[in-house]
Amino acid sequence: MNRLILNTSNGAYYQFNASNSLEQIAFPDEADIKDIFIVDHAVNIVSVVMPLKQDKQIEKALPFALEESISSDLEDTYIKYIGKKSDKAYAFIASKNLIGQFSKNDKIASVSYLPAFLPQTENGVTVVIIADTAMIHINKYMSFSIPVSMLEYSLASLTQDDESLKCIGICELTPNKKGEVDDLLLAQLQNLHLEITQLNPYAILDAINKVDTKKSTLLSGEFKRIQKKNTAKLNKFNGVVGLLITLLVITFLTAQIYKSQTDNKTTAIQAASVEFYKKLFPNEV
């Protein structure tokens, strides 16, 4: 199964090649089923204060609780509950139109939001750059995507609001960059006076490969992908079962016919013997 990275803003697909380097590709036409990982802000994580505690109750209440905090119409917004931390409930949101397009494509098995599943940097922020998009991951409840041009400003705001964030783990996955971050960008980030560590691209690849797409997929609710049965194998199996049943019925009927014929012959022999005995000994009957 292929795992593809997608930037919906420009329609660019990426895939790790045999040397584990990211390369831009066209959407493959072969029959392999694909897991899609969205990198841009077509998907977002939002939060709302939620007094409810049970997940089922929270899932039902979320659309109404989020109505005032999302910019799009509620009817056009896809919402998937992530979990609750302290007094806040967190959820993925996206356009229903976008998720609907994915759900209609039989070659797509799952769609996940990659920033939420990047490796976590202890006491810091994980940043992964692909082309003009920077993915930022603090934890599974706080992950988002921004243009690279806004990275310095966004990190400055984050670290100002949360003093526990003291370092940055950063990796450049843009094709032909070999994981190395642009020197000019590094110089800009050093103005934040945070410890900067360049992450190994293999760590990002490993994180992607470890994602349980059955749980992470946005193809849920009304867009849930129903796995189609292999009708060809099922029909073949049914044919074999039918043949076996037919053979059993024929065997049973043959045995019954043989038994009936044998009983009839036995009865006839017995009757003939009685008649023959009567003729030989007429006075004894």
The DSSP result for 147-200, as a single string, is EGGGHHHHHHHHHHH-TT--EEEEEE-STTSTBPPPHHHHHHHGGG--EEEEPP
Backbone angles phi, psi at 151, to 5 degrees: -65, -50
Q: Which of 96, 147, 141, 132 is nearest to 14 (CA)?
A: 132
Residue 29, pLDDT score: 65
Confidence of residue 269 (pLDDT cuts 50, 70, 90): very low
Give the other-Cβ count within 10 Å of 119's Cβ.
17
Determine the average pLDDT of the residues in 123-145.
Answer: 95
The C-alpha atoms of residue 153 and residue 174 are separated, in whole angstroms, by 21
Does the pTM exceed 0.85?
Answer: no
Q: Answer for the pair 77, 95: CB distance below 8 angstroms, yes or no.
A: yes
The C-alpha atoms of residue 157 and residue 143 are separated, in whole angstroms, by 14
The pLDDT tens digits for 60-113 are: 999 999 988 887 788 999 999 999 999 999 999 999 999 999 999 888 999 999
- Structure tokens that stand for 183 in this block: 């020197």
Q: Answer for the pair 173, 129: CB distance below 8 angstroms, yes or no.
A: yes
Strand 2-7 relative to strand 12-16: parallel, antiparallel, unpaired? antiparallel
**DSSP secondary structure code for residue 103 in this structure:** H
Tell me the C-alpha to C-alpha distance, in Å, between residue 47 and each of 127, 136, 187, 252, 264: 21, 17, 33, 69, 86
The rounded mean pLDDT for the chain is 84
